[in-house]
Amino acid sequence: MSQFVAVIDPPEALTTQSVSGTLWSRSSSISCRVHAVNRTPTVNTVVISCLGDVGVAVDRRYQITGVVEGGAADKSGRLRVGDILLRVNGTCTAALEYERIVSLLRSVDGILELKIMASHGSSADTAGDESNEGAVPQANLSPQTGELQPSGTDHKKGLRKLRAVEFDLPSPTSGIQSNGMCVQTSRSHSKITRRAQSIAVDGRPGSTMLRRSFVQLRNWQSDKRFTDTLHCRQQTVQESYCHRSQCQGSIMYPVGAELKSVPGDVRHKEEVVEQAEAFLNEYYESLKKRTDSQSQKKKLEEQQARRMKEVVAQVEMTGTYDMDEKELVFGAKLAWRNSPRCIGRIQWNRLQVFDCRHITTGKEMEAAIRHHIKFATNEGNLRSAMTVFPQRTGKRDDYRIWSPQFFRYAGYKMEDGSVLGDSADVELTERCVELGWNPPKEKGQFDLLPLVVHAANEPPRYFDVSDLLLEVNFKHPDFQWFEELDLKWYSLPAVSNMMLDVGGIQFTAAPFNGWYMGPEIAARNFGDSYRYNLLPVVAERMGLDTSNNASLWKDRAMIELNVAVLHSFKEAQITISDHHSAAESFMQHIEKEMTLRGGCPSDWVWIVPPISGSATPVFHQEMLNYKLKPSFEYQEPAWLAKRLSDKDDPQAAVSRRSSKLTLASAARVVMMSMSMFSPHLMKRAKATVLYATETGKSERYSRDVANLFSHAFAVKVKCMEDFVFSDIEYEQLLLVITSTFGNGDPPDNGESFGRQLYQMRNPPDDSRGRRKVSSGIHLGFTSTDNDNKDDSQPLANVRFSVFGLGSRAYPNFCAFARSVDKLLGELGGERIYENGQGDELCGQEESFRKWVISCYEAACKTFCVDANLKDFSDALATSSKEWQPDRFRVTVRSKGEVEEMNVCKCLSDLHKKTVFPCRLISRTNLQSENSPRATILIQLDTQGESQLAHEPGDHLGIFAQNQPSLVNQLIKKLDGAPHADEPLVIEFKVPVKDHEEWKLFDRLPSCTLRQAFSQYLDITTTPSPQFLAVLASQATDPDEGAHLLELSKGMTTYEDWKFDKCPNICEVLDQFPSLKVPASLLLSQLPLLQSRYYSISSSKSYVDGEIHCTVAVVSFRTRSGNGPLHHGVCSSWLNRITKSAVIPCFVRRAASFYLPEDRQAPVIMVGPGTGIAPFRSFWQHQKFTMHQPQFAIAANGDIPEVQCNTVEEAGQAVKHWDMALFFGCRHPDLDHIYKEEVAELVQEGVLSKAFCAYSRDPNQPKQYVQDQLKREADYIIQKLLKESGHLYVCGDVSMAADVTKTIQGVFREQAGMSDDQARSAVEKMRADGFYHEDIFGVTLRTAEVTDRVRNAARKAWNIIVQSQEDVSKTLVPTPLMTQNKKETMKKKLKVVLEFSVVGLFIVIVFVAGSWH
């Protein structure tokens, strides 16, 4: 029998007016009840009634237009008006006629599976989306039990709006004995069961009267509807205080809702565990949403299970448990989010939580509250904050704040019964007087009360807060007499007497603040008759008739009071919101919450503003009021709770008093000490310094920053790859220092962090799949503008600043740092100081110093830290002078004491990456014997190491060794050095109790001096300013010491010295011969020798077990060609080692430079000189796939797919790329590397075309690869634009910039594009992954290029510095400068700086491009 009791004909057969009764279908004799018929030009809508019945509209798609109350669809809440019916029992409806749909519905027997697409704008549209907390998977309504149960499958389809729902619809004659729901959420898999009453069903269609599980909420203004599902799904929903016969919605404290906070009245252990479990479920679910890694989710589940065991054990032992700080922060924010009476909750994620659970005394409470007020007031730019004091334990008095708010005005009860001041605070005023507070001699309306706090087992104490008060004196923009009323109010509304109830723990003192909504002051504090009752006063001054209510004098007076309040706050530049804006933002909050959680608990009585209610959108919005945990709870006044406690248990009070008396003398000493040092014992704000580096410089800068910031913050330093990313939203201050690798990519140890940050901003969905970091993490964020952005601002509480290191010789200067800076800002982080950038060509040290000083000043201001900037500047100047002769020493060990270490293992430990040994098979010079230069092809044996597997385009990282002659020279210059080949260790002195001990300094492994300088330490790089400062202390000649100190400042003098001489450490010791440098100094302070990267020139498919690299051997003279000869560390080492020598190396992935997955896509490769290196791996891979007839293989060369017997069959089975090579070199007979190999490839068809440009051929004009590209413009247009080909460019940045300009020119001239269109086309190719670049910097190998680039950089740097000074002088900010003026100033400065930077890059590219 059909599960539907009715079907209908196409709506065209129906009338256009609303009807009711019974309609008989022409195609069947099954009756149905028609509720409404509505005809529009495009959609015919019919609503029908049955058990679980849906209405279907026909407009080439079938749309749900109504859900009958009481049916299975209604009870599930998963079918909603406007949803599109996609499939019926697996059959797609899009291609079916209406009659076929009717037939399908009539033939259903058993489970009816409806697959729908949620309507746009529905509050739960994202059901099925991984980011949706409210997602509910398929469920079956059992006709036997009436329960909606999990179907056992959790479908997540590719389309974001897609979800699947199953209903087993009972026949009309089936009786439902009970109705219930058991929902298994798609993310947590936790079951939540809510039982409804047992109801009999009479079997008539549409007559069931089941209690609604989900509630549909309507906006009567827009007719938009939401379905609140949160109150049915949430484990932490509390019982309602309303009953069938009464509603307590308008009662301030509903019966049963008030908390009589008696100290010692703690929850039962079972209740604590139950609430803790529900809270931890929510907490860990929030963490799982931040990752799409199944392994990470599994780790979180295991972590949750361990955490729950810890909680249960602690509760069993003590009756309560301790939250960690992250749980507390999450719970505090969630409590605000759950507050049904708060209209300003849209800011819930920006709540700053101060964890003060370590505090034990009233004096410490005072210090914490003072810090809270300073932070929250923020000179008028108010910030929401909460301070959490110790929890209730039952073993001591509660921590309480007597005052309902931090700031309150006294209320004096006069002899005639009237009240002077605030009537709400009469009792509090009396309590303050009892405690010893003396009111002013001349009492007034606005006498500020002291703040009363009560620490556990201490008597209450009060303190004055007038020095922290930011008051607003009110005036009216139109009424001059208004100022004569002498009205004022405090600007910070900080509620301090409520309890934070989270995870079963009660925090009885947890003051929090937001900012005022105008009517809170004007309509309530001033307007209420039981407060200041100012409406008659204002009306009288306005000349209104107060004797007649019909004159609306109260309304008019109240409006003018609101006008005055808003006007005065804004004139004082203090944060406030008007009620219309607050209501609109709350409507946005509701929509966002319905999407994210499927509900938003709201108390309509409180949400609707006290004036102009119906003029605000919230008035017309139906709301559902329910109570979730965590929450804020009302408490009895603290003084009443104290009295109740002592009255109910007098023995306990005596015991507490006697306990105090027993330890009175000791307590007085402790209290005195704590009062003296409490400002210093306050928990410092936490700061985390993250770094990512290729050479180690970012790490050195990070440690300098940590040492400096430790003057005022609790600092930790982390490498990005070691940072637990899920902790990022709980960071208070995040300082990021990072370099940029290659063409704007993150360094190796920053790639994971960059990817996770990018995915947090742009969550992957099933339809798009996971994006690669390289397509969106740099290059101006061309890929971040999509429809799937996360706008929840999870980093709203993170303050941050970023400093980038790089070289303006690269086109994407500091791109990764700029990307991180932008992503952190878009995720809600507050940028305390603008992104700093240090150019290694000029002014890097000076840029860093300016950034770190400004950043420290901004951080201290942000976190209300009193810090001496002079001390900080002095510390900055001496930050790297940590080395002292008596702190470090070198100890020689016998060979028997030292275990011989494997070099690759030592390098792995040093650099925190796995390094593998390869052996040199052969080395071939690819250039002519007559060439003055050398380019070598090295072939390495991977010795079967599977982790050295690589793809075409990847890089090989090689750890080389320094020149032996340079090592010997350095050893000879050391003062008192041990024998070069004796094993040694470095030790440093540390204080231990009352003495000092020598500890192992494990920076380097146990090795000889020769090994350290050869394999582990960098002795060729020019020493940094910080290192020169250390050397200055070892100079015996005062002039040399002074010169070194001047260089150590890192200013222009250092830059000129560095670029003129490019001195290594040996040459520095030669220049300053008075230096007496011990071995311990160099071993502990020299930077580590970093790996060098080379593009892999082979395919693992073509030469299995081998890796080939194409290496240009580097050597050059400094000082304009007249200085000493310098050799490239790695290239010269590779050129001198013998066959079978061990080469420590590892593979670095370069996914953005891989061959396209589409084998039919054309591939154009541009690579002059050694830029041809990665393309050799491309054509080897292509050659293997084309010339191995026994296999037709996949694009990555791994998986055999089709067996072939001939080359022709293989070519037919596997499409191969249409590859063209554009190569450039100097002379055809000297340095045309791989010339014969390329010629053979063209002949074989592996390469379709090969072009070569010669720049030093005397028989023809100079030509570069750009010229060849112009000459083949038609070919370029055909392959790149018409056939959607891929362009690969490898080489130095000047060449890459010229190629980009050339391609743009070809697009402009051959495709008829404008300049902007051509530029956009190239950028789109980059963004879409069709334009690939593997770029290395300008090769500064000749005096000519060095001087030109250096001079250009210096000139541009001077322009930037001068521009900064000019703009600063012209636009000096003042304390009263408006935000708009500040923004204008920043924009003007930014324009000047950008102009200067662009000019710098143009000069560098022009200069470098003129040399090939």
Chain length of the chain: 1412
Report whether 1396 contacts 837 (CB < 8 A): no
- CA-to-CA distance for 620 and 36, rounded, in angstroms? 25
Query: Considering 342, 855, 906, 1290, which one is annotated as catalytic?
Result: 342
- CA-to-CA distance for 709 and 701, rounded, in angstroms? 12
Strand partners, 869: none
Copy the structure tokens of residue 821.
């800076």
Strand partners, 246: 243
Q: How far is CA 316 from CA 143, 272, 507, 1347, in A?
A: 43, 10, 20, 74
Q: Is 461 a catalytic residue?
A: no
Report whether 916 contacts 902 (CB < 8 A): no
Residue 437 Ramachandran class (φ > 0 left, ψ -120 to 50 alpha, else beta): beta
Q: Are strands 499-502 and 631-633 parallel, antiparallel or unpaired?
A: antiparallel
- CA-to-CA distance for 992 and 475, rounded, in angstroms? 65
The number of angstroms, rounded, from the C-alpha of 978 to the middle of its chain's C-alpha atoms is 50
Q: Is 1133 a catalytic residue?
A: no
Query: Considering 160, 163, 290, 345, which one is annotated as catalytic?
Result: 345
The identity of residue 61, as a single letter, is: R
Copy the structure tokens of residue 994.
């009352």
- CA-to-CA distance for 138 and 161, rounded, in angstroms? 15
Report whether 1116 contacts 1126 (CB < 8 A): yes
Report whether 241 contacts 595 (CB < 8 A): no
Contacts of 368 (CB under 8 A, 6+ apart): 354, 356, 359, 387, 389, 682
**520, containing H or E segment:** none
Q: Tell me how many degrees the CA angle 447-451-452 measures, rounded to the nearest 5.
A: 130
- CA-to-CA distance for 845 and 1026, rounded, in angstroms? 9
Phi/psi at 67 (nearest 5 deg)? Answer: -130, 125
Closest residue by Cα to residue 1268 from 1338, 1406, 1165, 1179 = 1165
Report whether 389 contacts 638 (CB < 8 A): no
Q: Is 515 a catalytic residue?
A: yes
Q: Would you give the end-to-end CA distance of the chain in angstroms? A: 84
Report whether 508 contacts 265 (CB < 8 A): no
- CA-to-CA distance for 676 and 681, rounded, in angstroms? 10
Q: Which residue has the tokens 């490839």?
A: 1241
Query: Considering 348, 515, 1057, 1217, which one is annotated as catalytic?
Result: 515
Q: How far is CA 1348 from CA 838, 1202, 1395, 1408, in A?
A: 20, 57, 20, 8
Report whether 1221 contacts 1250 (CB < 8 A): yes
Copy the structure tokens of residue 881.
């002078």
**671, containing H or E segment:** helix 664-681
Report whether 809 contacts 1295 (CB < 8 A): no
Query: Considering 133, 364, 520, 731, which one is annotated as catalytic?
Result: 520
Contacts of 419 (CB under 8 A, 6+ apart): 411, 412, 413, 426
- CA-to-CA distance for 924 and 939, rounded, in angstroms? 9
Contacts of 301 (CB under 8 A, 6+ apart): 284
Copy the structure tokens of residue 212.
């609604």
Q: Is 1411 a catalytic residue?
A: no
Q: 302 burial class (0-12, 13-18, 19+ CB within 10 angstroms)?
A: exposed
- CA-to-CA distance for 605 and 249, rounded, in angstroms? 7
Q: Tell me how many degrees the CA angle 1319-1324-1327 measures, rounded to the nearest 5.
A: 130
Please give the positions annotated as active site. Answer: 342, 345, 515, 520
